[in-house]
């Protein structure tokens, strides 16, 4: 089969559409003919080489896949060839204290399709049979691929971890990103007033179309000061972060007393300055979040299928153009998700 794979770690130039062996399908697995797979920053990290992760080469990423089931392992029930599905990328052991409590994303052996095993930037992907969710007829593969990972992540951040309540002020940092743009929709669904930042007026305008109430262009003004102004000096109840080093200090400064900062990423770097005096004196909550549990995945997919949350698609390009697409993502030129058609 063809895959957009790399045989050594490095930049997007290492990606080549090449022939690789088809994945083996175990008794508990299904084989999916991938039709669409969306890009995430994770694809860039894995391609560049994560020291702790020993991906066998050639390797291909892709955690946001949708397609057709073509083969079903002998132990799999409730799935049949021909089913149109989205892939839940969570991999966990199903035996540890966390898995047994439904907290599969806390599993010590937690991993992702496309990170710990080859992913969806290929014609076929093999996943455990309980990792595929049937798609309603009206939901397209590209929409599904664009939706899954960012919505799992943003849902857990906004709803489970930050517990956003009606009437609260939520600040979403860097609204062009996939998680950030979808966090706007989810925070609005929770009844919050949503403030967003971006260096692009065009992206602020797109965020407004998703329901954001206030846009701050950080290239034109001191955004932390602007946040203080629009909240009457109080600060926001919740900050949704994934930018990291470049914004961390000011994100903390933007919180009201007792406010919550939730983060799922550090795209500009992993080390940020935290003034511990501000943390304890203002009684702030710094909250980490990664992906979601399978329960949260099912909750957010139900809202997608019901039309209450929608995918935010920047562009759809063929798999063969994946290297250029990854470069575009690395430069932050997108709004929402870039999807590869397979």
**Residue 20 three-state SS:** coil
Buried b (16+ CB within 10 A) or exposed e, 266-276: bbeeeebeeee
The C-alpha atoms of residue 187 and residue 169 are separated, in whole angstroms, by 9
Choice between 147 and 297, CB closer to Zn ion: 297
**Can you say how many angstroms the Cα of residue 117 is from the centroid of all Cα atoms in its chain?**
18
Contact positions vs Zn ion (CB under 5 A): 92-93, 96, 99, 107
Say which residue the tokens 């900050």 belong to.
239
**Residue 156 phi, psi (nearest 5):** -60, -40
Distance CA 296, CA 109 (A): 19
CA angle 291, 327, 315 (to 5 degrees): 70
Give whichever of 212 and 293 is closer to Zn ion, judged by the CB atom.
293
Minimum Å gap between C-beta 266 and Zn ion is: 25
In the complex with Zn ion, the residue whose CB is nearer, 111 or 211, is: 111
Q: Which is nearer to Zn ion, 92 or 334 (CB)?
A: 92
Nearest distance from C-beta of residue 155 to Zn ion, angstroms: 21
Q: What is the closest distance, in whole angstroms, from the C-beta atom of residue 90 to Zn ion in the complex?
A: 10
Q: How far is CA 73 from the centre of its chain?
A: 29
Report the residue number whose CB is nearest to Zn ion.
107
Residue closer to Zn ion by CB (options 68, 103) is 103
Q: How far is the CB of 100 from Zn ion (least distance, A)?
A: 8
Name the minimum Å distance from CB 230 to Zn ion.
Answer: 43
């Amino acid at each position: 089969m063809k895959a957009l794979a790399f045989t050594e770690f490095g930049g997007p130039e290492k990606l080549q559409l090449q022939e690789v062996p088809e994945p083996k399908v175990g008794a508990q697995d299904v084989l999916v003919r991938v039709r669409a797979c969306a890009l995430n920053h994770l694809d860039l990290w894995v391609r560049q080489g994560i020291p702790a992760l020993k991906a066998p080469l050639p390797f291909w990423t892709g955690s946001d896949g949708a397609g057709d089931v073509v083969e079903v392992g002998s132990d799999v029930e409730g799935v049949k060839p021909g089913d149109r599905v989205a892939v839940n990328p969570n991999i966990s052991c199903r035996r540890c204290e966390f898995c047994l409590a439904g907290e599969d994303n806390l599993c010590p052996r937690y991993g992702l399709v496309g990170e710990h095993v080859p992913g969806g930037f290929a014609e076929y992907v093999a996943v455990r049979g309980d990792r595929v969710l049937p798609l309603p007829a009206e939901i397209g593969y590209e929409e599904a691929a664009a939706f899954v990972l960012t919505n799992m992540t943003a849902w857990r951040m906004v709803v489970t971890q930050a517990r956003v309540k009606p009437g609260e002020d939520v600040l979403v940092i860097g609204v062009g990103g996939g998680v950030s743009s979808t966090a706007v929709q989810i925070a609005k669904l929770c009844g919050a007033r949503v403030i967003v930042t971006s260096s692009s007026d065009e992206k602020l305008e797109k965020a407004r179309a998703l329901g954001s109430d206030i846009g701050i262009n950080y290239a034109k003004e001191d955004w932390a000061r602007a946040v203080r102004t629009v909240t009457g000096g109080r600060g926001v109840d919740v900050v949704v972060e994934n930018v990291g080093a470049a914004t961390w200090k000011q994100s903390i400064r933007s919180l009201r007393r007792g406010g919550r900062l939730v983060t799922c990423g550090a795209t500009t770097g992993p080390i940020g300055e935290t003034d511990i005096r501000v943390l304890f004196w203002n009684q702030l909550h710094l909250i980490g979040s990664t992906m979601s549990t399978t329960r949260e995945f099912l909750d957010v997919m139900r809202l997608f299928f019901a039309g209450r949350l929608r995918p935010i698609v920047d562009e759809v390009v063929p798999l063969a153009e994946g290297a250029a697409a990854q470069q575009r993502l690395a430069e932050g030129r997108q709004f929402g998700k870039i999807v590869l058609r397979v």
